[in-house]
Structure 1
Amino acid sequence: MLSAERFMALVPAAHPLAGRAELSASELSATGLLTWPHQINSGLCDRLLAAFHIGGADLRIIRTADSVHAIAAHVAAGTGVGITVGSALDQQPPGLRVIPITGPSTTVDQVVLTPAEPSRTAVALRDLLLEASAEASSTGR
């Protein structure tokens, strides 16, 4: 199974970028960003760095937090713009806008490998992930 995961920006509803339908890495290069620490998910952090580098933008991380809820709290407090992935958002953070980040390397491929004859548990997990991916695609997350 393969699905694409998109990076998302979290901005306060009153932020000048809040009205945008999409943002590019270069549009965020002058902004202080909040995201997760490299130790939590080094692959996503490396992909985020690559997305900014390929887009010719600087990645200015000013603070890290270990959960999307903590990132959202810092954003709501006016610390900066949060960066996360759509699957980490279980609900729309109150008072914040969630805006997709576009451009090269702003999606992350997620792969789940199963044996030729997967167990019932593996099939149930696969089906759950496919359903969640379809929901995220239909809601634009």
Structure 2
Amino acid sequence: MLSTERFMALVPAAHPLAGHAELSASELSTTDLLTWPHQINSGLCDRLLSAFHIGGADLRIIRTADSVHAIAAHVAAGTGIGITVESALDHQPPGLRIIPLTGPSTTADQVVLTPTEPSDTATALRDLLLHASAEASFADH
């Protein structure tokens, strides 16, 4: 199964960028950013770095946190703008806007391999991911 993972910015509602429907790496290049540590998901961190590099922008990470809730708390406190992936967002953090990043390398294909005869739990997870991927694809068009 293949689905697409998008980078999302967590922006305080009062921030000048909060009115944007999408944000590019260049729009965030002078902004203090918060994200997860490289040790948590090195592949996605490398893809984020690549997205900024390809976009000709500087990636200014000033703080890392090990959960999207911690990132959101720092953003709400005015520390900077958070960067996470869409799948980590289980709710709309109060006082923040969630804005997708656009441009090269701002999405990543995710692959889930299952055995020929998956368990009921694996089947439910696969169906949930397929449904979420289909909804995201429909919303993009």
User: TM-score, normalised to structure 2's length?
Assistant: 0.92
The match for 2:83 is 83
Report how far residue 115 of structure 1 moved.
3.2
The match for 1:45 is 45
The match for 2:32 is 32
* AA aligned opposite 1:33: L
Runs (4+) of structure 1 exceeding 6 A deviation are none
* AA aligned opposite 2:68: V
Question: For residues 52 and 136 of structure 2, what CA distance do their matches in structure 1 show?
Answer: 23
The match for 1:18 is 18
Question: For residues 69 and 137 of structure 1, what CA distance do their matches in structure 2 show?
Answer: 26
Which consecutive unaligned segments of at least 5 residues does structure 2 have? none
Question: For residues 30 and 86 of structure 1, what CA distance do their matches in structure 2 show?
Answer: 23
Q: Name the SS of the counterpart of 2:100 in structure 1.
A: strand
Report how far residue 50 of structure 1 moved.
0.5
Report how far residue 133 of structure 1 moved.
2.9
Question: For residues 63 and 2 of structure 1, what CA distance do their matches in structure 2 show?
Answer: 31
Which consecutive unaligned segments of at least 5 residues does structure 1 have? none
Identity %: 87
Offset from partner CA, 1:26-62 (integer Å, 9 cap, x none): 1100000000000111111001000001111110000
Name the Cα RMSD after superposition. Answer: 1.6
Report the number of matched residues.
140
Question: For residues 122 and 6 of structure 1, what CA distance do their matches in structure 2 show?
Answer: 23
User: TM-score, normalised to structure 1's length?
Assistant: 0.92
Offset from partner CA, 1:37-92 (integer Å, 9 cap, x none): 00111111001000001111110000000000000000000000000011101010
- The answer (yes or no) to whether the contact 1:87–1:136 under 8 Å persists in 2 is no
